[in-house]
Structure 1
């Protein structure tokens, strides 16, 4: 069984020419694609948008002409990014700095950053509402990422079992506050 089953299902839907499916695919990928080509292709947003449109046209042609078929060897997003990478290279820019392997990008980098900020604010407010020992312990473990032996010594925790128990209890307190 292919590890890209969801992408293969989407590919089958795109092959039908469903306008809504193409619009959704377009909207889901334009921002990450633009950021990728702007960063590694050293181009501006307008050029990135033009390359994205060309890449989607090529992807559409490959889908409808049967050049892209299951089983897939990469995700559709990776395939689209590879098309864009090749289009940038053909544009005559010798100074392009694309990585050999395409990085895994979040679905929407702006949403991921917003989620991270929201979660950080939530954790800060929860840390303010639990006891001092738990606040100090969780801060050392998760925010400062201090090694376990150092935390055990600093907080006078006698054993690994006591460390795990304190971690469990403190996280449980935080969960009840959510």
Structure 2
């Protein structure tokens, strides 16, 4: 085993270096998990997975002699590896979420008319269906996401690429006004 201290700025790995790596793993595990949970809101299991991946990356970097003469401590280096892994993981989740939002059933505004609805309700629902089909596709999509798919304003803002939720609220107000005008024109 190397005689250098674990937190020196010169890291190399040899046959006995795995013992050193095990020590590094144990020494910084709890701090990294706390860091990942607090700073990035990760669950403990996600934090552990990323920490283990960061340790593997550290090991590979040691084998490739990339850790010789580091300008930082091993903890800082390890946390930097983990931080970039967390960021990539969060970007990937965001992309997956966006894809799942794109696969939503955008025809759900076809509200079923049930037998137990009164005649007035049935007429009102039929009118609503017709008006929803007549408003702009962008308004229809926004209202569908909000009322029929139950997404939050934040999710819809991200999905429709609005700059912020205020823009969404303004657009929602305009769309509801348009829908009301259509509904009222059928009432006359």
TM-score (norm 2): 0.43
TM-score (norm 1): 0.45
Higher-Rg member (1/2): 2
